[in-house]
Structure 1
């Protein structure tokens, strides 16, 4: 006799319980996590000279940690991150912030839930940005961005002043990602691991969308199923374990430079 079919919620709860037990989060300093995040972005070919940025909200009000200007993602070490205030004055560490990180301040002000921001001009997301195309969620691996990727249709210019921060933060709204037309993308996570996870999957989604369009118009995933997959794939245990896997891969890029 066949056993009765159990509701999907049973398996979801069981998987969540098992993941919490078997996939514990790892202990790292903020700077170590940020260095791994930079290496992951480099590994997934998201660098564009010095255009990319990463920041993490500091415990000090109105301040954040960021990679000192002049370094690429692929050469970041924990010693290369500086803490800066609202006027981009360096509070901890040595060096200066990328002037374009100023718009991060506006996102942090508007979104108390956001603790990390990544912005890059990655090849595939930038191709969507150049074509002024929003993301279409048409495959399972794209669902972490379902109803979570905004679109800014006009470029406000190089984001080194306050007005660009106002425009970008308002366009982002309550989403965790945004494609910036003629520009690139931004991800805003509850943690640095989440922002990185979303960055990798956004770039992958953009690549998939562009390739799939060669076969005709895309068919979006059913809304209810996409919402379910979004919530499942953004479970902290999945996000953190995926980040840890990618971090292990980065050791093949290049050894950390000595501070």
Structure 2
């Protein structure tokens, strides 16, 4: 006989969260493997724009992080070809050189000690939206993890290889988890690689939905209380982990060399 049909929404939310905590264990992938998987997931999700974009995560030694070699696309990144760099972009382990635009990652890591992964890409729909100089609109349940969590840099400061761009982008991001960069692309941060990857994937979908909706009519806002409830419901470590695992399995079917 059913025992939950008379429970309140808050009680059901607590039960669901408790079940998720118990059912989902920690992934066995290393940080380098998750970073490589993220590259393949995002490549399949439309984040391919040649060699533009960077992905990084903190390495064990303070002041260093893993990133991809300049010259390799997201579809070519594997655990074995990642490099380790310091805050000055000197290579401390691995072959090749980093993208010089990684400089602004160092600024964000210094400003946000809780952040462990940064993903910056130029996917088609986010890049197109950035050309309009309008913020990302979050008006659908699926994109609610970005509700009031996506900043906007309204003017392009130029190529992000100087310290000026690092200061500008880091300040514009503030304490949010994502930012749309006018005439540029998107950037997300996460306490975990899984969180950052799923936010990056979701942000491009949000931009796509926005452009489609704008072409059809006027986007209507979500009720604030319900949007915040949805944001918090989805924005958990376990939810990120189980969603990332699904996309990782899908990526591995397409990219068997990812973890070689």
- TM-score band, normalised by shorter chain: over 0.9
Unpaired runs of at least 5, structure 2: none
Unaligned runs of 5+ in 1: none
TM-score (norm 2): 0.96
Contact 2:104-2:163 within 8 A present in 1 as well: yes
2:121 is matched with: 120
Separation (CA, whole Å) in 2 of partners of 1:40 and 1:109: 27
Separation in 2, partners of 1:86, 1:139? 38
What secondary structure sits across from 2:67 in the alignment?
A: strand
SS of the residue aligned with 2:47? coil
Distance 1:58 1:4 in 2: 47
> Could you give the per-residue CA deviations for residues 136-155 of structure 1, whole angstroms, max 9, x where no partner exists?
11110110001100000011
The structure-2 alpha-carbon separation of the partners of 1:95 and 1:210, relative to structure 1 and needing over 3 Å to count, comes to same
Distance 1:45 1:128 in 2: 15
Matches within 5 A, 1:61-100: 61-100=62-101
Deviating runs (4+, > 3 A) in structure 1? 2-5
**In structure 2, distance between residues paired with 1:255 and 1:174:** 36
Note the C-alpha offset of 1:254. 3.1
Matches of 1:111 and 1:219 in 2, distance apart? 33
After TM superposition, the score normalised by the length of structure 1 is: 0.96
Residue 127 of structure 1 aligns to a residue whose secondary structure is helix
Q: What does residue 197 of structure 2 align with?
A: 196
Q: Secondary structure at the match of 1:26?
A: coil
Structure-2 residue corresponding to 1:222 = 223
Residues paired across the two proteins, number: 258
Aligned to 2:239: 238
3-state secondary structure, aligned to 2:220: coil
> How far did residue 80 of structure 1 move?
1.2
Kindly indicate whether the alpha-carbon contact (under 8 Å) linking 2:40 and 2:255 is maintained by their aligned counterparts in 1. no
Structure 2 match to 1:149: 150
Using the TM superposition, give the Cα deviation of residue 42 of structure 1 relative to its aligned residue in structure 2, in angstroms. 0.6
- Contact conserved, 1:25 with 1:241, CA < 8 A, in 2? no
Question: How far apart are residue 257 of structure 1 and its match?
Answer: 6.8
Q: 2:259 and 2:121 mapped to 1: Cα distance?
A: 26
Q: Post-superposition shift, 1:3?
A: 8.3
In 1, the alpha carbon distance for the partners of 2:109 and 2:29 equals 23
> CA RMSD of the aligned region, Å?
1.6
In structure 2, the residue matched to 1:159 is 160
Cα deviation 1:154-193 (Å, max 9, x = unaligned): 1111111111000000000000000000000100111111
Q: 1:169 to 1:257 in 2, by over 3 A?
A: closer
Q: 1:89-120 deviations in whole A, cap 9, x for unaligned?
A: 11111111111111000000111111100000
Give 2:252's aligned residue. 251
